[in-house]
Amino acid sequence: MMDILMYLFETYIQSDVELLVDQDELSDELSRAGFHQDDIYKALNWLEKLAALQETENIPYMNNSAITSIRVYIPQEMARMDVTCRGFLTYLEQIHVLSADTREMVIDRVMELETSDFVLDDLKWIILMVLFNAPGNENAYTQMEELLYGAEDGYIH
């Protein structure tokens, strides 16, 4: 499923191509690209749930946490995200790329993946997708891109 999400993100979202195709057309295209129908359905459902995180106020973790609060991971989260992944999330919070809300969105999306092979690179993709889809996080998205890809153009001071 991560392959499909990365393909969609690179092809449609990150490349600024307008996503005007309907879900059936998209599903057909992904099938032609060699992805299995079951995985396509799961990936599209995952993306719908990501979009839904922006549209609801009924999610309990989507509240303004105190700046002194500490995130305690449950055993299932620790099994999915190793210490490197959890440390990276903490680092991104410390440099203000992630807020408590966007961190929780990332964790929510990570836990929805059906994989046992989750690594730091996968987490970085999920973070990019969440930040891209979370209104008001344009600067954080840009910072995350710079962290991942480095400044390709611009001036070095």
Q: What does the DSSP assignment read for 81-110? A: S-HHHHHHHHHHHHTTSS-HHHHHHHHHHH
Share of the chain above pLDDT 70, in %: 80
Could you say which DSSP state residue 13 is in? I
Is residue 60 over pLDDT 80?
A: no
pLDDT at 156: 46
This prediction's pTM: 0.80
